[in-house]
Amino acid sequence: MAQNESASYLVTYDIANPKRLSRLYRFMKKQGVPVQYSVFQVEASATEIASLMVKIAKMIHPDADDVRAYRVPEKTWVMTLGTSILPEGVLPGRGPTHS
């Protein structure tokens, strides 16, 4: 993947402090689509996701908090259980999914 080629990423976080958690949540709502609590789908290039992680690093405490970004493969398989905040059969940035 080229540095400027867009891809789908899942950004997940576990933040120990409620104030930092709220701040990061508000920031992430501007960056991507909330998929679950503390999980956002972000469409970005490798350069953009690296820049996003640098910004996030300034908001957290690395000894207490955990933030991760996972690139979603082009051909992915998804299984969901329970209630979703997204319409049925939709994975952000990928269109309909099939069971």
What is the number of domains present in the chain?
1
pLDDT digits (tens, 9 = 90+) for 62-75: 999 999 999 999 88
Tens digits of per-residue pLDDT, 11-68?
A: 999 999 999 999 999 999 999 999 888 999 999 999 999 999 999 999 999 999 999 9
- What's residue 7's pLDDT? 94
Three-state helix/strand/coil letters over the chain: CCCCCCEEEEEEEECCCHHHHHHHHHHHHHHCEEEECCEEEEEECHHHHHHHHHHHHCCCCCCCCEEEEEECCCCCCCCCCCCCCCCCCEECCCEECCC
Q: Looking at residue 49, which CATH number applies to its domain?
A: 3.30.70.240
**Which of the two residues, 2 and 21, has the higher pLDDT score?**
21
Is residue 1 included in any domain, yes or no? no
Looking at residue 16, its pLDDT comes to 97
For residue 58, give its domain range: 7-96
pTM score over 0.95: no
